[in-house]
């Protein structure tokens, strides 16, 4: 093979390699663009889901027919509401979602707008509300010195709570009903609790104020008193401070009435491990 032919072969090989590299480069670029596009679609969907879920959980927005669309950081809101404040709330929720840079609020405010009747169906927000109520009632029963250890089942449907199972005394049965009724979001309580000296596994119920209740940590008591206030519908938990020392709970702050004050004291007294409640600093 002469020198000229070698040069031609080298040139051909070089051109071939260059074409291969160019094609490989194009494939990588296309793959990168596809991945970026797919990632953008996922991000858009996630942001839409976050906004819509918050609407579904909001008692002010869940009844409205609202739609959300997100594209490259811009959320477009459409639908109808009856009041300006609800439109503003929808916009504020969308703005608060991470990654949303702009909100196009096209929601129409119509004073005559009436949400569709959904009394026969349960939305996502309704399910979450009922689950939250059930958890709150169960927690309050677990923390109370009068209802601790009860074999109790709590079921909630549309804010209506059903209590079933067994309790040791009539006092415990009444206390369980009272705690449930005073839980935020509860509309009614069907008390089907039966009185029995034995639990479901055949063991005897503990008596109230057992000696080991004095061993409960003060920090645990404080946390449970605060949580009980937070779950209760007639006590402004944010306005009451709670401090516990050697089982003695001190309540301080401002309440709206003597009824709220009395209820706060009663709820605190009922928590396991509480020896007494000082309410001199709880005023109205």
Q: State pLDDT tens for residues 177-201.
A: 999 999 988 999 999 999 887 655 5
Task: Tell me if the pTM is above 0.75.
Answer: no
Residue 273 has pLDDT above 50, yes or no: yes
Q: Which domain holds residue 60?
A: 36-109
**Last residue within a domain, chosen from 75, 109, 143:** 109
Region 249-272 average pLDDT: 93
Residues 42 and 102 occupy one common structural domain: yes
Task: Give the ranges where 182-257 is alpha helix by DSSP (H).
Answer: 218-231
Residues 180 and 230 occupy one common structural domain: no
Instruction: Specify if 200 maps to a domain.
Output: no
Residue 92 has pLDDT above 80, yes or no: yes
Residue 102 has pLDDT above 60, yes or no: yes
Residue 128 has pLDDT above 90, yes or no: no
Give every strand in the sheet of 160-167, ordered side by side: 151-157, 160-167, 188-195
The reported pLDDT for the residue numbered 278 is 94
**Last residue within a domain, chosen from 109, 138, 158:** 109
Residue for token digits 């009185």? 195
* pLDDT interval class at 240 (50, 70, 90): very high
Return the structure tokens found at 199: 């639990």
Instruction: Specify if 249 maps to a domain.
Output: yes
Residues 100 and 136 occupy one common structural domain: no
The reported pLDDT for the residue numbered 3 is 47
Q: Are strands 74-81 and 248-254 parallel, antiparallel or unpaired?
A: unpaired
Region 18-31 average pLDDT: 54
Backbone angles phi, psi at 119, to 5 degrees: -60, -25
Residue 94 has pLDDT above 90, yes or no: yes
Instruction: Specify if 254 maps to a domain.
Output: yes
Nearest CA to 179 out of 212, 131, 216, 142 is that of 142
Residues 212, 95: Cα–Cα separation, whole Å: 51
Q: State pLDDT tens for residues 219-231.
A: 999 999 999 999 9
The reported pLDDT for the residue numbered 30 is 57
Instruction: Specify if 152 maps to a domain.
Output: yes
The reported pLDDT for the residue numbered 107 is 94
Provide the number of structural domains found in the chain.
3
Residues 217 and 274 occupy one common structural domain: yes
1-10, 86-95, 128-137, 179-188: least confidently modelled range: 1-10
Cβ-defined contacts of 211-215 (< 8 Å, 24+): 213/145, 213/272, 213/273, 214/247, 214/273, 214/275, 215/273
Instruction: Specify if 150 maps to a domain.
Output: yes
Residues 49 and 80 occupy one common structural domain: yes
**Last residue within a domain, chosen from 195, 224, 246:** 195
Residues 130 and 175 occupy one common structural domain: yes
Instruction: Specify if 31 maps to a domain.
Output: no
Secondary structure E strands in 98-235: 102-105, 108-109, 151-157, 160-167, 188-195
At 235 the three-state DSSP class reads: coil
Cα dihedral across residues 81, 82, 83, 84: positive or negative: positive
CATH code (residue 84): 3.30.1340.30
Percent above pLDDT 70 for the chain: 77
25-34, 65-74, 133-142, 239-248: least confidently modelled range: 25-34
Residue 17 has pLDDT above 70, yes or no: no
Instruction: Specify if 116 maps to a domain.
Output: no
Identify the residue with better confidence: 41 or 25.
41
The reported pLDDT for the residue numbered 11 is 46
Instruction: Specify if 261 maps to a domain.
Output: yes
Residue 244 has pLDDT above 70, yes or no: yes
The reported pLDDT for the residue numbered 48 is 92
């Amino acid at each position: 093979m002469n020198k000229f032919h070698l040069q031609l072969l080298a040139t051909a090989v070089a051109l071939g390699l260059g074409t291969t590299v160019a094609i490989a480069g194009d494939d990588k670029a296309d793959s990168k663009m596809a991945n970026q596009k797919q990632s953008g679609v996922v991000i858009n969907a996630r942001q839409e889901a976050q906004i819509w879920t918050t609407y579904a959980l909001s008692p002010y927005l869940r009844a409205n027919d609202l739609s959300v669309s997100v594209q490259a950081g811009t959320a477009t809101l459409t639908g109808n509401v009856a009041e300006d404040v609800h439109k503003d709330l929808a916009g504020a929720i969308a703005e608060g979602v991470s990654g949303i840079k702009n909100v196009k609020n096209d929601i129409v405010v119509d004073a005559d707008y009436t949400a569709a009747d959904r009394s026969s169906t349960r939305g996502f927000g309704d399910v979450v509300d009922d689950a939250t109520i059930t958890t709150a009632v169960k927690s309050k029963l677990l923390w109370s010195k009068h209802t601790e250890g009860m074999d109790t089942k709590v079921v909630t449907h549309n804010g209506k709570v059903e209590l079933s199972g067994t309790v040791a005394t009539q006092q415990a049965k009444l206390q369980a009903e009272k705690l449930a009724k005073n839980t935020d979001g509860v509309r009614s309580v069907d008390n089907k609790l039966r009185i029995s000296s034995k639990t479901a596994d055949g063991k005897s119920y503990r008596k109230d104020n057992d000696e080991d209740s004095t061993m409960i940590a003060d920090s645990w008591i404080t946390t449970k008193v605060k949580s009980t206030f937070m779950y209760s519908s007639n006590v402004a938990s944010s306005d009451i401070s709670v401090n516990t020392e050697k089982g003695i709970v001190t309540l301080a702050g401002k309440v709206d009435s003597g009824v709220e004050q009395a209820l706060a004291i009663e709820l605190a007294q009922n928590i396991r491990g509480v020896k007494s409640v000082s309410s001199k600093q709880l005023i109205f």
